Chain A
Amino acid sequence: MNQDVNNGAAAPLLDVRGVTLQYKTSRHLVTATYRVDFQVRKSDRYILLGPSGCGKSTLLKAIGGFLSPTEGEIHLKGMRVNKPGFDRMMVFQEFDQLLPWKTVKENVMFPMIACGKCNRRKAAQRAEHYLELVRLTKFANHYPHMLSGGMKQRVAIARGMAMEPDVLLMDEPFAALDALTRRQMQDELLQLWEDTKFTVIFVTHSIPEGIKLGNRILLLSAHPGQVKAELAGIAEESADPARAAALEERINGMLFAGAPVAPSEAHHV
């Protein structure tokens, strides 16, 4: 994971400029993020990292086109994002993101057929290929309720990747998994990236996860989310455990600058 394939590309793949996001609850109008800027290049593993309430998930949903910014613009390949589309496939945290009435393979095929990108035969071929990548070939004809949480998330990842989107959006996909499965999934995701070099934006509130998975990290502050800093060249640091630990401390200090640090919050993987 040492080489980063992001040198040379002049125009960013995804351009987020001055994005302010607001949503209404039954009582308040909440500002989730305030004038956030960042650019993602092809084959980036871009991490949105911040404490809960920094609007990172909301930001990801805006990139997905599920809500529109009150201020600012999001451009993907120069086209303005204004509605959901299959060029930005989303992987959610919730296990119920799979369609329970379809088998694992049909789930992976579903977007390809629904959007008219492939016919059934081609979709089936691709689904088989990507199920093999996430090592679920044996479970192709199972229904989602027969799978463990980690397997469900792997199906969702395969479903997103099979569409070969411009960018894969992952909203804390491993947050609901147990710690052991989580580490395993992180390794697998990196291996998948080694194989296909897809572009991914990954939301997390875990600093070690961000360091392990990302090559660039955007740090957001809480209430409302604003950019604190952007860190590049993470992959080189995370190769060495001691340097990774130092980086973790540094990020922790940046995120909670001024605030007393609760050790239990700082260190959960």
Chain B
Amino acid sequence: MNCIIIDDEALARAIIRNHCVKADELEVLEEFSNAIAAIKYLNQNTVDLIFLDIHMPDFTGFDFIQTLKNPPKIVLTTSDRNFAIEAFEYDCIVDYLVKPVGLPRFLKAVQKAEQFKPITAKTAEPTAKTSDAEGNDLYVNIDRRLIKINFDSILIIEAKGDYILIKTEGKNYTVHSTLKKIEDKLPESKFLKIHRSYVINFHKIIDIEDNSVLIAKDVIPISRSNRPILMKRLNLL
């Protein structure tokens, strides 16, 4: 088996790396101090096993798992003795180790990983949204007129109480509706909800910095819960 180690703490990585040497046929391919670098690596490489720290700044271990289309076997590492049951909501998680990790417990986790077969073929993919979007346009009711808006012209849609503000490349429209209703009418391939108050046209992103995206001149916040879905959609180099 081969593996990678993801932990923001050098001490934790050193302990796991040292233990890996003691485990027969377990090769450490890479180590990462943050999850984003690991995602980039996994876009181009296949690994059998990941030792993954749950608590990392900005991007937790669980956020990381949700970005993986076909997650490999994962052994979680944590400083939390009373570890949350959330770990077992993912079929890819084999075991979890409490830091500092002793060698006997580590070897037991590796053995479990070798024998581990996921119960189902289920992945960490979130449930797919059923969109009834058809064609390239959306009609909105403004002052008793049905106005056609081309999907490609939409930049962002912002919730404003009982209204939504649709910002397009040429004009802005305020429509009496909810974000949920319009989200169901938009093609999934183009649009993404990144915050409870914002849906964005994914193809209009200029850049992403920390917890916000820049679209045209607007800086839109990314909520913590929506960040993994956004990261998963990015074609990271």
A binds B: no
